[in-house]
Structures are given as structure tokens and as C-alpha cells.
Amino acid sequence: MAEFEFIDWLAAELTAKHPPNRVLTIGLGDDTALLPPAPHGTLLAADMIMDGVHFDLKKSGPQLAGRKALAVNLSDIAAMAGTPTNVTVCLALPRIGGEQLAKEIMRGMLPLAEQFGVAIAGGDTNSWNGPLVISVTITGTPHEHGSVQRGGAKVGDWICVTGDLGGSITAKHLNFIPRIDEAKTLHRQFGLTSMLDLSDGLGSDLRHILRASGVGATINKATIPISAAAMDKAKQSGKTALDHALSDGEDFELCFTLPPAAGAALIQAQPFGPSLGVHKIGEIMQATGLYWEDGTPVTATGYIHQMK
Amino acid sequence: MAEFEFIDWLAAELTAKHPPNRVLTIGLGDDTALLPPAPHGTLLAADMIMDGVHFDLKKSGPQLAGRKALAVNLSDIAAMAGTPTNVTVCLALPRIGGEQLAKEIMRGMLPLAEQFGVAIAGGDTNSWNGPLVISVTITGTPHEHGSVQRGGAKVGDWICVTGDLGGSITAKHLNFIPRIDEAKTLHRQFGLTSMLDLSDGLGSDLRHILRASGVGATINKATIPISAAAMDKAKQSGKTALDHALSDGEDFELCFTLPPAAGAALIQAQPFGPSLGVHKIGEIMQATGLYWEDGTPVTATGYIHQMK
């Protein structure tokens, strides 16, 4: 069972049998929940990162691990076009050196928290014999034009991404800038219909938009923006740079849809300048599935977390 | 360094140097934060539990572990006299059997969530080679008479606890009822001045109220309510039952203060009947420190999480 199937199972259990969950404006299965009262309410999301899985503490050091724990949560708020407000931080610390580790984790987190106006509201520290775990929960304020969910893509919409894709493992996954400001600008100026942040790779994540929206898509090989890191990796991996752009996880760029006229205006405007390009990579279509421009299916699935 | 000293360090860092933290109505160091806008706002707290530390998965099974992860967070909301509303659940799952484990954890959590009207709003599942970690974050609505913080105890106030103390490890830590309803009733009917939930033992936790309030206390040996489990433990441990009542962690009962007239009315009324007694255990005094009625210092410190 993949993680998204577990979330489907849980969401079905909850909405069918669990009265409290029926009051949520947005529940399980999107980048964040939206707690009542609508239309404003509070965005809420949580992401946990673990030594040996999402970072290698020996290589990254504690400051970049702490920074990443916050950044991945900020990216979830960005995916809704929201503004982050508060976090809680729970730590499972190795027994020896835990105090210094905890302080360094917070020192790595605080500059990013301050940059995005996020308060550290609470949390929990624990010691154990296992590896370091950092679990962060984030709250946020919805966009004044509403939250951008995964399920709003319409036939004919353009599909766009920010930045370049692939090869994040080389460095970007530890030092990326969450696209908070960009997401808010995009939704305010161009009226997005759906969005998520790319955490498992375009070939996997775009399918979540398609599934939630009940649509399909055609994407164009020549227009997928490929990072320099993906090109470097391709020289040694035996895979193409395009494979890396589609299947490497942790890009933490935005993938979103918008009506064609707004899309054309956006691509023309390039509101973030040359340092962060916005690229059209395809279009939403009626027939479900994900296809290349020549009609062949896209087989890249990105990273799928399998639960055994 | 003890965990509370780390929280002091962090709170000082944050309020001195970190502008976003200055907007919190209640910040680090209480049972929950209170997010603006005051006076209503949102309560927010987080607690993480780990296999081998807070439960033994082989003995408890996944359902009771899941139940406990929610219950300890509910207890934090109770400590503010709040009403819980939503949780996020992050799981670090062993690679083999993770799917079944995740479902059983949720099956253990859902009846308690439903009992207290709590929605499961989101979360994150991960697999790794380490032991099970369950990290829950909870939101809540403050009490209509305001949130009961740790720092409000006044000289002359009575100190009371719900229930009996000690020996929770025998069974109660896995099946306790969070005192949500009791805390709301107590604050509505009797006007509490300070409160927390007993997680590290009375001998440790009461000191947090004293420190936050800038006061001291005298407690009375004969009035500390000792559980049957604490008496059983004392038969084998070489410690007294009173030692267990003061020092065993995870009672998850309420410890609170209130003015003497309200205290007398409460003890007379016993609003929860014979199944859950409310006991006066001492009084707040000017001189700092924690003393027995004969003037000797209380040496029991409860469980103090040391970070090395």
C-alpha cells in the first residue's frame, strides 16, 4: 500500500464514521487541512523528518536538518498559497549530545522562521536510543482569494511549475527557499485553479492533482525544466536528465494549473525574473491519465512511499 | 540540562531576538500555546511518544499506543481548561508491517477522538529502520473564562489534585481518561488561578506552577491521594507509596490552585462524585520552595527529562 492509499483509507474511515472530521473545510489528502470557521479559518499541516531517511545528520549537521524540518512544512503552506504563522517542534534526540543537538537544530530553524514571520509556539523534547527525529506542525492563514487545493484543475488549464527540477539530493533539499511569497503572488495575480508542492517528483505529484480533479494531462518533454544538478546526476546514473527531473523527490517547487489566458499572461510576465523561471509544461485534458505530447503514457512515477 | 531549562533557553532566545514569537498570547513554557487573536484565539500543543520510552509496543500493542499519543495531547488541552478540536498525526513506522501498524494505531486513536469531538485533520507517514514514533499536535478552543496558565497561583490559594497519584506505569498511562470535561467544569464553577496536568509526578510538576507564579507551597503528607497501584508498587520497590505518588510520572491528573473560599466550596461539592475525588493537598505561600507541613523541604523531584 502506498502512503496516498493509506490516506484514502483513513479519509474514507473518517468522513464516513467520524463526525468530528465532517466539520473540516479541507480535510485529509491535500497539502494542509483548513480548519473552520470558513471562509478564513486556519491552515494546519505536519511533516516529520528522520535521520537516515530525509537527511544524514553526519553529513548535513544539525542546523541544516532543523532548517529542512521547518522548510518542508513552509512548503506545505505555500502549496495552499497561504501565509505561515506558527509551528510546534517535537524532537526525539539521541541520549548523548542531545542538548547541544537541540540547540543547533533550533539555531538552524530560527533564521528561516524569522524570514517568514513564523513563531515557535511549542513542542516537546525527548531522549532515546534511536536516531534523531524532528516533527514539525505548522499553522497558517489562508490566501485572501481562498486556498488553492489539489482538486480544482479544469480541462484546458495550463500546467506550470516554478524553477528547475531534479537532483535536489545534491544540495537543494537542505537549502531550498519555500515558495511562500511566489505562491501568494501567483494566486493573487493569475488566479490558480490547483496547486501542490513537488515533494515526490513531478511524475508522481502531478498525478495527485489529476486524481483529485478527475482529469488527465498531456505534458511536453521539451518544456520540462531540468536542473543543472539533474544533468550532473545523469552523467553517472545511467538515467536521463529528464528521468531525474520527473522522478527525483524533494524539488519543493510549485506545480499548479490556471486558465489558458491567465497562463499566457503569466509566462509572458515572468513575475519572479530570471532567477526563478515559471514554465508551462502541459495542459489538462478530459481523458484521465498522464501522457506525453505524442500520446504515449508517462511511466515515471517519482518517489512513492510504500508501506509494507 | 533538564528539558525545562532547554525551554527556558529557547523562550529567552525567542522573545529577545525573534519578532514573530512576540505576537503569541501564551508562548513556550505552558501546557499549550495560545495563538492570537486574543482573547479567544487557538490553543496549540504537541507531544511525541516513542516505542521503548513512552510505551513498549510489544506489550501495549498498536491500539493502546495510538490511544496514548492522542490522550497525552488531550491532557495538555485539559491543563488549560480548553476544548480540543483538531489533531495532526505523524508516524515513523518500521519498514515491515507498517501498513497494518498504521491502521491499528488509528483504530486505537479514533474512539477517543470521537469521544472528545476531535477531528484528524492531517499528518504524515514515513517508514524507516528505527522504532515506532507517534507525534501528535492538537488545537483547541480556550475556555470562556480564559485559559488557566501555570503562572497565576496567589499566596493563600489552595492546591488541589483530581484522582489518585502514582503507579500509572502499571496500566493507567495507556488507558487514562484525559480530564477535559473536569477541567472545564472546575474553571467554570470555581475559578482556577493556575493548572497543569501531572505528567512527570507531583513532586516535579507542582514546582513548575511555583516557579511560573513566583511563589512557594506547603503540602501535607496525610492528604496526598495515593493510588492502589502506588501501594502495590511500594510492596516491592523499597520506596514508600507516598514516594510513588510524588515521583511516578504519567498520572495525567489535574493539579491546580484556586482561592480558599472557592477551594472550600469545591472540596465540599465534590463535583465528580466518588469515582473521581478532588483533594486539597496544600497551600500557596510567599516564601519560594516546596515544603511539607512540618517545614522540611520536599525532596522528591519526580521525573526530570535530562538532556546530555
Report if residue B18 sits inside a domain.
no
In angstroms, the CA A124 to CA A112 distance is 20
Report if residue A69 sits inside a domain.
yes
Q: What is the pLDDT of residues B103-162, one digit of tens each?
A: 999 999 999 999 999 999 999 999 999 999 999 999 999 999 999 999 999 999 999 999
In angstroms, the CA B13 to CA B20 distance is 12
> What's the ipTM?
0.95
Q: What dihedral do alpha carbons B108, A90, B126, A28 form, nearest 10°? A: 60
pLDDT interval class at B300 (50, 70, 90): confident
Q: What is the pLDDT of residues B62-101, one digit of tens each?
A: 999 999 999 999 999 999 999 999 999 999 999 999 999 9
Report if residue A298 sits inside a domain.
no
How confident is the model at residue B273, as a pLDDT? 97
Indicate whether B39 pLDDT > 70.
Answer: no
Task: Please check whether residues B241 and B197 belong to one and the same domain.
Answer: yes
Across the interface, which of B46, B102, B113 has its CB nearest the CB of A307? B102
Cβ <8 Å between B120 and A21: yes
State percent of chain B over pLDDT 70.
99
Letter string b/e over residues B146-164, b meaning 16 or more CB atoms within 10 A of that residue's CB: bbbbbbbbeeebbbbbbbb
Domain that holds residue B126: 31-141
Task: Please check whether residues A227 and A165 belong to one and the same domain.
Answer: yes
Across the interface, which of B3, B21, B118 has its CB nearest the CB of A120? B21
Contact B18, A114 (CB under 8 A): yes
How confident is the model at residue B10, as a pLDDT? 93
How confident is the model at residue A39, as a pLDDT? 67
Mean pLDDT of A76-90: 98
Which residues does B182 contact at the CB level (< 8 Å), separation at least 6? B78, B162, B254, B271, B272, B276
Q: What is the pLDDT of residues B160-200, one digit of tens each?
A: 999 999 999 999 999 999 999 999 999 999 999 999 999 99
Number of domains composing chain A: 2
Domain at B63, CATH number: 3.30.1330.10
Q: ∠ CA A209-A215-A220 to the nearest 5 degrees?
A: 75
Task: Please check whether residues B167 and B260 belong to one and the same domain.
Answer: yes
Cβ <8 Å between B129 and A52: yes
Output the furthest CA–CA distance in chain A (Å, rounded).
58
Q: Which is nearest to A126 in space by CA: B138, B230, B72, B93? A: B72
Task: Please check whether residues A124 and A91 belong to one and the same domain.
Answer: yes
Number of Cβ pairs < 8 A linking chain A and chain B: 228
Q: Which is nearest to B93 in space by CA: A304, A305, A30, A57? A: A305
Task: Please check whether residues A210 and A282 belong to one and the same domain.
Answer: yes
How confident is the model at residue B72, as a pLDDT? 98
Across the interface, which of B88, B126, B307 has its CB nearest the CB of A53? B126
Task: Please check whether residues A120 and A190 belong to one and the same domain.
Answer: no
Q: Which helix H or strand E contains B211, and what residues bound it?
A: helix B202-213
**Beta-strand pair A42-50/A33-35:** antiparallel
Task: Please check whether residues B107 and B201 belong to one and the same domain.
Answer: no
In angstroms, the CA B71 to CA B87 distance is 11
Which residues does B35 contact at the CB level (< 8 Å), separation at least 6? A85, A86, A121, A139, B24, B25, B41, B42, B43, B44
Domain at A187, CATH number: 3.90.650.10
Three cell numbers, residue B80: 488549560
Task: Please check whether residues B115 and B204 belong to one and the same domain.
Answer: no
In angstroms, the CA A162 to CA B48 distance is 35
